[in-house]
Chains A and B, each alone.
Chain A
Amino acid sequence: MKAEEIPIGSMVPLTGPSSADGKEFRNGVILAAEEINADGGILGRPIRPIFLDTGRQSAAEVVRAARTLIGEHGVHALINGYNIGPQNAEYEPVADAGIIYIHHNTLLQHHDTVMSNPERYFGCFMGDPAEYWYGQGFIKFISWLRDSGQWQPRNNRIAVISGAKPYSVVIANAMGSAARQFGWNCVFGPKVTQCPREGWHPVLDEIRALDPAVLANTEFYAGDLARFQLQFMQDPVPSLLYLQYGALHKTFTDIVGDRGKGVIVGTMIGLPRDEFGQAFSAAYKQRFGRDSTPEVGCQPYTSLHHYAIAAALAGGSGGPGAFEQNRRVSRKLLKTVYRSVSGTIRFHPKWQAAVPYPDATHDPSLGMPHIFYQVRKADQECALIAPEPYADAPFELPPWLA
């Protein structure tokens, strides 16, 4: 007799501004499910992924997706990449149903919501560290470049442009508050600046007059970052330039081409180029084509594997209403440190979020690497320049500073 399938829901933005990522999130879940099923599923039961589009990722769209997946499909878990807009509103149907939910929203508010009522939100996990760590990690990164002599800033001034999303605001604020401790003086911002209709030139001119050695833009969307980069390069401010995660996207490279060379980009969850990362990358591209992006698809891929291990250790998964079984799965997720293709996922016992390395642990075997890339030419892979032991290339002075 064929074993009953385990329905796993995935809320992915297949349309709208993050659809490129949404496609990769879907790929990641598909590949993980295929691998798990090929090995016999969870205690003999195969996984059946069900995808719902979250469009512009607003709270209403994501909550609707969660309710449909739970109510109509009876999913045992929700596992997906990020949805930028719901602000944890989707935690309510998840908590009401008592199922497991692992996402990569990269939001500090996850800590707050889980810690506000650990009993209710026992099933909610964030498979990557909060965006907060981007901010202070970035300040440590530029201080490391400075103190190790790899780069000599001409002054200690730093300018921070913040995107309007909570994600961007939190990162920018964290940069601003950590700067002084490391000897930096924040002369611009953190200032929330929505992608201006008239273009970035007035903001860039204002910043140029302040002569910062470092310029960071925490805008979320890859397209907005690309427009910023093109306008920046028309008359570059002589600063080290950091752009938020979106600049890792193919969309960004497609728009800016070689004019992105030298930009620093960070991610709380990426794909180290070690044995694990390379093997996954090869398998992913073989399955989804050369133009696919394993650096994005790895997010739900790792979490679905982690969930499958925890559910198997807990004696099986549980559908909506199976609170006790899912509590067992939750406990196993917390206890099981998983070395994924993205580095180590170790859930913090209170935050129920992955602990970042080196931001919150000094031990690379106990944290997910907060990776810093430097963009190279359009036809080249980004250089992974920090942290050790994952770095595979040295920092290079950006062309506009050389």
Chain B
Amino acid sequence: MSGGDIDQTMTRRQDYLEAGFEAIDVGIALWDDLDRLVTCNRAFLERFAPMKLDPAESITQTEFLRLLAGSGLLVTPLSRHDWLEKEHNAALSGETSEYLFNDGSSVRVERRHLGRRGRLTSFLDISGARRVEWDLERARDSAAASDQIKSRFLRAANHDLRQPLAALKILIYNCMTAKDDAEREDLLHAMDVSVSIMEDLLGALLNIGQLDAGKIEPKISTFQVSTLFDRIKVQFDHQAQEKGLDLRIVSSACALKSDRSLLERIVSNFVSNALRYTETGRVVVGCRRSDKHVRIEVWDSGCGIPKEFLDSVFEEFFRISESQAHRKHSLGLGLNICKRLAEMLGHTIAVRSEPGKGSVFSIEVPLGNIWHSDIGEPEISERIGGEFAGLLAVVLEDDVILRDALIALLERWGMQVHSIDSLENVPGSLQALEREPDLIITDYRLRGGIQGTEIVAEINDRLEKPCPAIVVTADTNPELIDTIRRQGFPVLIKPVSPPSLRVMMHNILYEPELVQELHI
């Protein structure tokens, strides 16, 4: 190989090295023995682009670190001075560092001594690996938290469900050997109470579980406080009566902005507690309105809470004393659930009390804009609000396909439909109805040669008054149609179109004077 060939080979190799140096995605900077930048690749310049480095200027590594510290590119808990000192030492000793950039990426910085030639620094993006690590850490923490929740749930369940369960076992045994019906009745009632206590306890535990697991998401809407109060009344009226307490719910007219069901859970808890800890007197539920808020208050005339415990009543598993007379009915979780739900909703809850006289639990809820009130009907259709909604139709049609299609149509219009399939027992079929029908739709020719008009007459005899009826027929014989009309029935020719049926139904139900044959 001649000298020229060797030179040529060396040059080619140099070109390849330079091309490879530029192409790799790892940022590389080479510093000479005087710590000056000799060369760097594209990846290095791109990574530190905001610093606008000029490779021709040969800045020192110390200057580079100073510029980097002042660039705002990195996120670090250290002060600028401490970070510079740490990195300077690392550069000298060849230690590895890790930079967290403000765009969220992580870069591992490795240094190599090149003997007398200086040092090489490489910058490798490890964001992907870091993300996987963080995800794993989060999953591990979540699993650990879930384990804790489960343990706490099981401890509480074990502790508090034992008592009613033990009672239930005894009651079942006693029930099996009961002497008479009266004793059995008493025992069954006691069992019923035990089961309901267990239900309440499990419900409370599940609430706590859901809160711990972050599975409750508030759905904020605007609704009337009266709808909440109506449900509270239904829920607790009977319980209050059984205990001889006067439950008064003072109706109010205002709109609230909250999660309807979570707010109900809070107020229900207040009322349930009030009834539990009140032996005589009354429980009053009402609200006070200010400019932007409504405070829902639950007053009781119960035993009250000593002042020193007022701050603790909303804590988890709190009870005034272990010997508390009612502890078998309660985990001490209800008010904690209220507090946590209220925090989630951004509402303020409070308590004031006077031992021996009673307590007032309250929650402050933002006033809602009544125009934004949720009526609870996301899809408006005739099924909900049409003119036939809620009416009861009796249908007589032998053809199964036609009958099913007619029933589907009437139900889509919000009607209840009763199909009479057995013509032999029309009275029996009518007895199955909860109320008198509003309309009859019958085919003219029913099986066995029976005419629909005969069945209508039978139904009317039974009802002792005429029920509006429409006759449908596939027979287009004008004489037959005329005969049916003369009997006082409007006629529709098959196939019946929904609009013509609708017009006929409207007229016969609401404007009978307009009933006439429609040829549309």
Contact = CB atoms under 8 A, between A and B. Distances in A.
Contacts of A108: 380-382, 385-386
Main secondary structure of the interface of A (DSSP, over half): helix
A358 B372 CA distance: 7
Given A59-B500, A170-B385, A183-B251, A144 B371 contact: yes
B254 interface: yes
Contact of A192 (B227, B251, B369, B510): B510
Contacts of B518: 59-60
Given A140-B371, A181-B224, A362-B372, A115 B498 contact: no
A91 interface: yes
A17 B226 CA distance: 43
A320 B370 CA distance: 46
A222 interface: no
Contacts of A166: 387, 506, 510
B387 A169 contact: yes
Contacts of B252: 183
Interface residues of B, number: 39
Given A86-B499, A358-B372, A60 B385 contact: no
Contacts of B369: 362
A178 interface: yes
B306 to A, nearest CB: 38
Given A89-B503, A164-B510, A178 B375 contact: yes
How extensive is the interface on chain A, given as a class?
Answer: 35 or more
Contacts of B380: 108, 111, 130, 132-133, 351, 360
A143 B502 contact: no
Interface in B216-274: 223-224, 226-227, 251-255
Contacts of A198: none
Interface in B360-389: 369-373, 375-376, 379-383, 385-387, 389
A387 interface: yes
Contacts of A116: 412, 498
A372 to B, nearest CB: 11
A278 interface: no
A173 interface: yes
A59 B498 CA distance: 13
B255 A173 contact: no
A89 B226 contact: no
A135 B499 contact: no
A109 B388 CA distance: 11
A88 B502 contact: yes
Contacts of A169: 387, 510
Interface in A94-130: 108-109, 111-113, 115-116, 130
A133 B381 CA distance: 11
B250 to A, nearest CB: 12
A140 B503 contact: no
B498 A113 contact: yes
Interface in A142-164: 143-144, 146-148, 156, 164
A147 B332 CA distance: 38
A387 B371 CA distance: 9
Contacts of B502: 87-89, 109
A108 B502 CA distance: 13
Interface in B384-421: 385-387, 389, 412-413
Contact of B382 (A59, A109, A192): A109
B412 A177 contact: no
Contacts of B506: 87, 166
B510 A63 contact: no
Nearest to A388: B371
A111 B382 contact: yes
A113 B381 CA distance: 10
B373 A92 contact: no
A112 B389 contact: no
A85 B255 CA distance: 38
A136 interface: yes
B180 interface: no
Nearest to B408: A116
Contacts of A143: 224, 253, 255, 370, 373
A182 interface: yes
Given A92-B499, A140-B373, A147-B370, A173 B387 contact: yes
Given A92-B497, A181-B375, A112 B382 contact: yes
Contacts of B379: 350
A147 B294 CA distance: 12
B381 A111 contact: yes
B245 to A, nearest CB: 25
A135 B373 CA distance: 14
B116 interface: no
A351 B381 CA distance: 9
Contact of B386 (A112, A146, A164): A112
Nearest to B372: A362
B224 A59 contact: no
B386 A109 contact: yes
A174 interface: yes
A154 B405 CA distance: 50
A360 B375 CA distance: 10
A252 to B, nearest CB: 22
Contacts of A92: 497, 499
A86 B373 CA distance: 33
Contact of A112 (B412, B500, B519): B412
A387 B502 CA distance: 34
A41 B439 CA distance: 51
A182 B389 contact: no
B129 interface: no
Given A59-B518, A92-B497, A147 B253 contact: yes
B454 interface: no
Interface in A344-361: 350-351, 358, 360
Given A143-B224, A166-B387, A60 B370 contact: no
Interface string B419-452: 0000000000000000000000000000000000
B511 interface: yes
B520 interface: yes
Given A63-B520, A112-B412, A182 B226 contact: yes
A358 B369 CA distance: 11
Contacts of B372: 358, 362
Among B383, B412, B511, B520, chain A packs the most CB atoms within 10 A around the CB of B520
B385 A89 contact: no
Contact of A60 (B227, B253, B255, B520): B520
A156 B253 CA distance: 10
B109 to A, nearest CB: 52
A182 B497 CA distance: 39
A92 B500 CA distance: 11
Given A146-B253, A170-B386, A174-B385, A358 B371 contact: yes
B249 to A, nearest CB: 12
Q: Nearest 7 CB-CB pairs, A to B?
A: A89-B499, A358-B371, A169-B387, A112-B382, A183-B226, A166-B387, A132-B385
Given A87-B499, A89-B502, A147-B255, 11 more contacts: A85-B503, A108-B385, A140-B370, A147-B254, A166-B510, A170-B385, A170-B386, A173-B385, A182-B226, A182-B253, A183-B224
13 contacts: A60-B518, A85-B503, A88-B502, A109-B502, A112-B386, A136-B375, A143-B224, A143-B370, A156-B253, A166-B387, A170-B387, A362-B369, A387-B371
Interface of A: 59-60, 63, 85-89, 91-92, 108-109, 111-113, 115-116, 130, 132-133, 135-136, 140, 143-144, 146-148, 156, 164-166, 169-170, 173-174, 177-178, 181-183, 192, 194, 350-351, 358, 360, 362, 387
